[in-house]
Structure 1
Amino acid sequence: MMRLLLRVSLIAALLSCYVLLSWASEQGKSKGEEPQSPDSNMKVKRNYTAANVRKPKAGSHRKKVKQTGSQSVSMGPRSTIICTRLGDIYQLKRYICQGRYLKDKCSGVNKRQCCVPVGAWSVFCSGHHNNRVRACDGHGCGAFNSRRGNDLHKAVDLVCDDYGIVSTPFSGTLAGPVSRKDPAGNQYDGVKLLNDVHCVKIFNVRPYRYIGPVVQGEALGYVLPLQERFSGITSHLELQMCDGSDPSPFI
């Protein structure tokens, strides 16, 4: 009986020791680990995300700016805008110009010029399908550089009817009245018309006004009669370029 009691006591003591050792071990583990709040977990995740986001390199941004800065938009010389606006052609010099090249309109560009095609101006005189140069009659000829006594005719005469309506040949600005006298003392009145490219004096017309902008095809005035002074002459208006050049290629 005594042996049985001793065995039970020994087993109970062993179990007590085991329980105490297990409890002591659990307490040691809990002391070694600090409790983490939900906020600390979020902070750790946020720091991890920030650390893993790739920041753009300073060199890459600079390279992009450099590429953008190197792209230049070329608007072309001002002469290109003038040519296209007036219906002219901005082309290489080696191409044939079916008309006339304009001088001093392509500064800085040596291989291209502004070509004004034939018939760049519209018809002047109402009732006519084209600008017809006055042929020779008893009072002379109407072509450019035709003989007028001892002088040359530095203008072109276009056939028009007396009191016929004259249309504006190109868009531009009226720049005031003009007049001239021939060797015999006869006076011819008219108006000056100009734009960025052309400048012409139109004689033997009575304009509706002398100053202000006009558009191509607008009624400019009417032809003054010549039969009263020059019997048998072909009624006409006279075109004279402001620089004395030949207006024939434009009409």
Structure 2
Amino acid sequence: MAVNKKIYYIAGAALLILLLMKGNKALAAVTKNQKIRDCDPFGCGNFGASRGSRKHQGIDLVVSPGQDIFSPITGKVTRIAYPYASDLSYKGLEIVNEQYRVKIFYINPTVAIPSVVTAGQKIAEAQNIAAKYGSTMTNHVHFEVRNALNQVIDPTNLF
């Protein structure tokens, strides 16, 4: 009888730990599928992938043009960003809170500065980045995260 009771306590503790770990993710999903872009002729979508003389400072999440994009954090929209100085048709957002500064590019924002957004709230729709580079580029949104010290961090395992 005492052995069965111990097994139940151990199983219960293990379940509680799993539930706490699952619910303790730092970021909410940016897209429904949350798939990192594989390699295509224009590069790879993983954090740290080569970009010529530099490294990719975010991850690229596969999307379809027009797909809903969600805020990964609760925070304030601090700016509309433009990844290409020569082409202002492509946009991004920066959202900031006490822990993180996140940027999402290749989107049509549906929120404005200085909106306060909540994690999981729709904030944009995905743009068609393949229209700029050609059909061999996988459509994606670029997502990067910095900590409170403004250091780039790998968001891959924060979801």
TM-score band w.r.t. shorter chain: 0.7 to 0.9
The gaps in structure 2 that reach 5 residues or longer are: 1-20
Q: Distance in 2 between the 1:240 and 1:123 partners?
A: 13
The gaps in structure 1 that reach 5 residues or longer are: 1-97, 99-116
Higher RCO structure, 1 or 2 (CA under 8 Å, sep 6+) = 2
Q: Where is the helix percentage greater, Structure 1 or Structure 2?
A: 1
How many residue pairs get matched? Answer: 131
Q: Which residue pairs with 1:84 in the alignment?
A: none
Q: Does 1:228 align with 2:131?
A: yes
Which structure has the greater CA radius of gyration?
A: 1
Match of 1:197 among 87, 96, 99: 99
Q: Tell me how far 1:245 sits from its aligned partner.
A: 2.4
Deviations 1:138-181 (A, max 9, x none): 11101111011222111111111111010111211111211234
CA RMSD of aligned residues (A): 2.3
Q: Which residue pairs with 1:55 in the alignment?
A: none
Q: Does 1:248 align with 2:150?
A: no
Identity %: 25
Q: Where is the strand percentage greater, Structure 1 or Structure 2?
A: 2
Q: Which residue pairs with 1:172 in the alignment?
A: 75
Residue identity in the other structure for 2:142: E
Query: Normalising by structure 1, what TM-score?
Result: 0.47
Q: Distance in 1 between the 2:94 and 2:112 partners?
A: 8
Partner SS, residue 228 of structure 1: helix
Check the 8 A contact 1:204/1:223 in 2, yes or no: yes
Q: Which residue pairs with 2:112 in the alignment?
A: 210
Q: Distance in 1 between the 2:87 and 2:47 partners?
A: 20
Partner SS, residue 82 of structure 2: strand
Q: Distance in 2 between the 1:227 and 1:181 partners?
A: 15
Q: Which residue pairs with 1:64 in the alignment?
A: none
Query: Normalising by structure 2, what TM-score?
Result: 0.72
Partner SS, residue 204 of structure 1: strand
